[in-house]
């Protein structure tokens, strides 16, 4: 802590001292399934695809066009493009110079379920100042290095650097856009009011929680609680709890050797078959197939 010219030290800032936007960010968890550093000297492209996570593309040299849905964005030196999940995207090199860039595939969830980039309205493309751009490059490089060395704890280190990238991108979005949209800010503030409920789900998701249990935590009638909760999150309380359990199951499939039966017990599902049915419905693959694909994905793969 640095003293001001009078020699006095400023009062310490307490956690939660920055309003609902920062309070909600404290609950964000990041996962990085894929990452890479690439340089292409000749023609290069990736045909249209749809993937289930966000992709952060950090330009180092050269230029490429990134198509996201019906929109087109130019990635060049000192620019960054955030391609959202579940939206068609394609890449093509457009400059004669070498094209060099980083990609970081990630998921960033608020309270284990809600998508942080969508909730905070992160810009699709930003052009940070040179010094800030260097911070983006350094964080992406550390993620690539962590996965290349594959030392114990590399996924945790990558998650930490992913959080750093998101904070930098949030600041860049605010600098270029000027602030979060009013409707987004209102939703964030409303979500913060249900913080005790979200934290209870995080801590007690393995228990047989019921809507009335969650409503009691929020000090609301169950019917009004259910209506308000769905309006804010887009999911009914029971569906939200199931999604949270599935996200926790997904994490355990990748990070542990627990059987599907053990994971079902740890995440609050009635039995392994029910977990498998729900997992396949939401993720599109069985838990076993997801675990197998996730372990392959821990290697460095094309963007």
Tokens 């999911």 correspond to: 235
Instruction: Give the pLDDT of residue 295.
Output: 52
Instruction: Tell me how far apart the alpha carbons of residues 265 and 269 are, in angstroms, rounded to a whole number.
Output: 6
Instruction: Give the pLDDT of residue 2.
Output: 44
- Is 252 a member of any domain? yes
- β-partners of residue 29 are 109
Same domain, 231 and 102: no
Domain boundary among 154, 180, 206: 180
What does the pLDDT look like over 54-73, one tens digit per residue?
999 999 999 999 999 999 99
- Is 12 a member of any domain? no
Instruction: Tell me how far apart the alpha carbons of residues 274 and 271 are, in angstroms, rounded to a whole number.
Output: 5
Instruction: Give the pLDDT of residue 25.
Output: 86
Domains: count for the chain: 2
Tokens 């005790």 correspond to: 196
> What DSSP line would sit under 204-249, residue for residue?
HTTS---HHHHHHHHTS-HHHHHHHHHHHHSS-HHHHHHHHHHHHH
Instruction: Give the pLDDT of residue 254.
Output: 78
Handedness of CA 175, 108, 82, 164 (dihedral sign): positive
Query: At 119, which CATH number?
Result: 2.60.120.10
What is the gyration radius of the CA atoms in the chain, in angstroms? 21
What does the pLDDT look like over 191-237, one tens digit per residue?
878 888 998 998 899 999 999 999 999 999 999 999 999 988 888 99
Query: At 258, which CATH number?
Result: 1.10.10.60
Q: 140 is written with which tokens?
A: 């992406």
Domain boundary among 156, 180, 204: 180
Instruction: Tell me how far apart the alpha carbons of residues 35 and 142 are, in angstroms, rounded to a whole number.
Output: 10
Domain boundary among 134, 153, 180: 180
- Is 3 a member of any domain? no
Same domain, 67 and 124: yes
- In three-state secondary structure terms, 81 is strand
pTM over 0.85: no
Q: Write out the residue range of the structural domain in which residue 171 sits.
A: 24-180
Q: What angle do CA 135, 137, 142 make, to 5 degrees?
A: 95
Instruction: Give the pLDDT of residue 299.
Output: 40
Burial (CB count <10 Å: 0-12, 13-18, 19+), residue 29:
middle
Segments of the chain scoring below 50 in pLDDT: 1-17, 296-303
């Amino acid at each position: 802590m640095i003293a001001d010219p009078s020699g006095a030290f400023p009062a310490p800032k307490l956690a939660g001292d920055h309003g609902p936007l920062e309070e909600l960010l404290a609950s964000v968890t990041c996962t990085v399934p894929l990452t890479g550093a690439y340089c292409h000297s000749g023609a290069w492209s990736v045909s249209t695809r749809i993937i289930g996570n966000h992709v952060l593309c950090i330009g180092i040299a050269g230029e490429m066009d990134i198509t996201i849905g019906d929109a087109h964005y130019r990635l060049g030196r000192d620019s960054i493009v955030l391609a959202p999940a579940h939206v068609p995207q394609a890449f093509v090199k457009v400059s004669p110079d070498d094209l060099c860039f980083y990609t970081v595939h990630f998921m960033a969830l608020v309270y284990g379920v809600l998508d942080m980039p969508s909730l905070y309205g992160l810009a699709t493309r930003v052009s940070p100042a040179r010094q800030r751009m260097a911070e983006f490059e350094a964080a992406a490089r550390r993620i690539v290095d962590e996965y290349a060395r594959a030392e114990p704890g590399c996924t945790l280190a990558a998650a930490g650097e992913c959080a750093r990238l998101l904070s930098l991108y949030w600041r860049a979005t605010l600098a270029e856009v000027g602030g979060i949209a009013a409707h987004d800010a209102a939703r964030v503030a409303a979500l913060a009011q249900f913080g005790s409920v979200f934290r209870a789900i995080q801590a007690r998701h393995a228990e047989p929680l019921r809507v009335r249990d969650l409503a009691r935590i929020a000090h609301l009638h169950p019917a009004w609680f259910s209506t308000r909760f769905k309006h804010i999150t887009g999911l009914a309380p029971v569906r939200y709890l199931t999604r949270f359990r599935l996200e926790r199951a997904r994490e355990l499939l990748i990070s542990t050797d627990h059987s599907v039966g053990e994971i079902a017990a740890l995440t609050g599902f009635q039995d392994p078959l029910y977990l498998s049915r729900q997992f396949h419905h939401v993720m599109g693959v069985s838990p076993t197939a997801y675990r197998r694909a996730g372990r392959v994905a821990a290697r460095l793969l094309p963007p």
